[in-house]
Amino acid sequence: MATVLTSENVHDAWSALAEEVRTAVLLTMRAGRPFGSHVPYVFGSDWTRAYLHLSRLALHTQHLLAGSRVSLFIAEPDEPEKNPLALRRINLQGEAVVLSLDTPSYDAIKERYLERFPQAEMMFGFGDFALWELRLENAHFVLGFGQAFISTADTPARWVHQKVERVATGKG
């Protein structure tokens, strides 16, 4: 008998993945085509906010300055004994904005980022680096075969099985 996963179970699973995997692929648009970059990240209180510390000199940052639409993709590492098609992964979509130094939460986010990536402390002193806030609107989380869930920023703690959502909306 298959285990029925609740929103709380799915929340715990994506949180564990985000804790285990410290880097993601940031997808930006370059000349109308997706462009992927490997980036370290931290999340806010849920999946709807992620924070990146980016250099203005990097191509992905130049892309963000030209257009703020992004996707962030986090995947469990592959290993020879694992089925690569059943790896846990989450794909998030939204908009990116530079986080101003006078934002009330800036210091707390910087501290959280440095707790996870202490080697980045020196880069916070570089003038070309800035914290970016990803304001994520949609999430697609795959736990394995037949275990795909979606959520939206309107109800970030509610995870709906992808098959159920397709039937309910008539999409799919």
DSSP state string for 136-155: EEEEEEEEETTEEEEEETTS
Q: What domains sit in the chain, N to C, each tagged with a CATH number?
A: 7-169 (2.30.110.10)
* 167: confidence class by pLDDT, cuts 50, 70, 90: very low
Average per-residue pLDDT in the chain?
A: 92
Query: Mind listing the pLDDT tens digit for each residue in 46-83?
Result: 999 999 999 999 999 999 999 999 999 999 999 999 99
Residue 169 has pLDDT above 60, yes or no: no
Burial (CB count <10 Å: 0-12, 13-18, 19+), residue 25? middle
The token duo for 23 is 């880097």
Give the CA distances from residue 165 to residues 44, 140, 152, 153, 168, in Å, rounded to whole numbers and listed in that order: 26, 12, 12, 16, 5
pLDDT attached to residue 1: 42
Residue 165 has pLDDT above 70, yes or no: no
Residue 35 has pLDDT above 60, yes or no: yes
Query: Mind listing the pLDDT tens digit for each residue in 100-114?
Result: 999 999 999 999 999
Query: Mind listing the pLDDT tens digit for each residue in 43-56?
Result: 999 999 999 999 99
pLDDT attached to residue 123: 96
The token duo for 148 is 């795909």
**CA nearest 58: which of 122, 124, 113, 129?**
129
Percent of the chain beyond pLDDT 70?
93
pLDDT attached to residue 2: 54
pLDDT attached to residue 145: 84
Max CA separation in the chain (angstroms): 56
Section 4-17 average pLDDT: 91
pLDDT attached to residue 133: 98
- What is the chain's length? 172
